[in-house]
Structure 1
């Protein structure tokens, strides 16, 4: 009897713990803002970090395969779950390898024609990385100039669009990161922050997110090569993005 009673009490305690923990797990992303309007069109743009293996032929709104497997998918899943009657249309048009000028080349079809209410852009790592690898002759000045031109075009053709500028980031200690990154890449981050301020855009401080994460575990946990996030890193990105998005309304 005593053994059965101990088993019963233990199982009851575990069940109670599970019930207590479940809401916390479900709300691990902070995204409860009742003032978010219905019917929003939200667009994620950028390079491979945003692309995250999305299926290019699945270009419809809220398509599971079309959203990839990265932070854009995770943020979208939480937005749709927390706003089931919101009638949001969310797209991912990130393209692996892109630099700012390549966004501009496809901007009409992949951004302007979608008429987004919210446009999120994460771009910059390739503008630096491809230059370091000798595959691109860009500079930080070109990065900033191209970026400003792109946004000027956007706000002119899509009046009222809310902009989210995501900070290009590095997970220090990643396998692809050299000393040159430490010396030169912060200039690109400063340019992105300046652009966000100039266009009154919301800014997602991804570098701070990963710097804090690296205090808990090494780069291999969050972003093994220093550029492309792991599932854990993508989770952190989605969390930070949603916190920024919630402040738009």
Structure 2
């Protein structure tokens, strides 16, 4: 009798643990700068992704976490990687950075040289991959929304985007080519050739439509 009870207690405990395991949410972290910091606002792209999960019946399967800080560049992400990302033991990490590495060269003289940008980026990926987490990296978006690559920093953004594409290939990680995709969108939705107001409020930071655009870009990797 005791063996019978012990056996069913054992089976019940396995069933409980299995159910507990199934209920564990996949932890997804969005790692970046002020665009990601604003992503958790009521109309931010991370908030919109959460709403999309609810609509799709998958909100119980994922925990979306924003880890964006305004003004951050690639080396800032490297310095806070352990505390703000890895300590949370994520399953999936999106890295969306590069705007300030380019933009701040002109604005404050504190950008990041291309070779340093690439080295820091590679180090971040190495540390993430060592934990077994999946990483998806993104090319930087825009500084100005004029068409035809006439914005002042378009040349540098193209160069840094190419660096991110090369990193994705060398490290064998997934790439979301936000730079290309946002330019394609602007080319077909900016007939008046405005510097801002299509997807951004100021040429850099996303408006409501820009946040919807970003949410759609990330959605395919989450769902």
Normalised TM-score (structure 1): 0.70
Give, in angstroms, the shift of residue 151 of structure 1.
1.1
Which residue among 202, 206, 221 is the counterpart of 2:174?
202
- Inter-partner Cα distance in structure 1 for 2:112 and 2:173: 24
5+ long unaligned stretches in structure 2: 1-22
5+ long unaligned stretches in structure 1: 1-36, 55-66
Indicate if the aligned counterparts of 2:73 and 2:112 stay in contact, CA closer than 8 A: no
Which residue among 204, 210, 221 is the counterpart of 1:227?
204
- Call closer, same or farther: CA 1:86–1:227 in 2, change over 3 Å: same
1:58-207 matches, cutoff 5 A:
67-68=40-41, 69-84=43-58, 86-136=60-110, 138-156=112-130, 158-159=131-132, 161-170=133-142, 172-173=144-145, 179-207=151-179
User: Tell me, what secondary structure is at the counterpart of 2:197?
Assistant: helix
- Inter-partner Cα distance in structure 1 for 2:159 and 2:143: 16
Alignment correspondent of 2:27: 41
State yes or no: 1:239 paired with 2:216. Answer: yes
Indicate if the aligned counterparts of 1:171 and 1:210 stay in contact, CA closer than 8 A: no
- Inter-partner Cα distance in structure 1 for 2:166 and 2:85: 22
Count of residue pairs brought into register by the alignment: 193
Indicate if the aligned counterparts of 2:35 and 2:205 stay in contact, CA closer than 8 A: yes
- Call closer, same or farther: CA 1:85–1:154 in 2, change over 3 Å: closer
Q: Which runs of 4+ in 1 moved over 6 A?
A: none
Instruction: For residues 33-70 of structure 1, give each alpha carbon's deviation from its aligned partner in whole angstroms, at most 9, with x where no partner exists.
Output: xxxx9621111110011000x7xxxxxxxxxxxx2342
Instruction: For residues 137-169 of structure 1, give each alpha carbon's deviation from its aligned partner in whole angstroms, at most 9, with x where no partner exists.
Output: 52111111111111111211x11x111112101
Give, in angstroms, the shift of residue 77 of structure 1.
2.1
User: Tell me, what secondary structure is at the counterpart of 2:31?
Assistant: strand
Instruction: For residues 171-219 of structure 1, give each alpha carbon's deviation from its aligned partner in whole angstroms, at most 9, with x where no partner exists.
Output: 6436xx9744122221110111111222222211212332232212344
Normalised TM-score (structure 2): 0.78
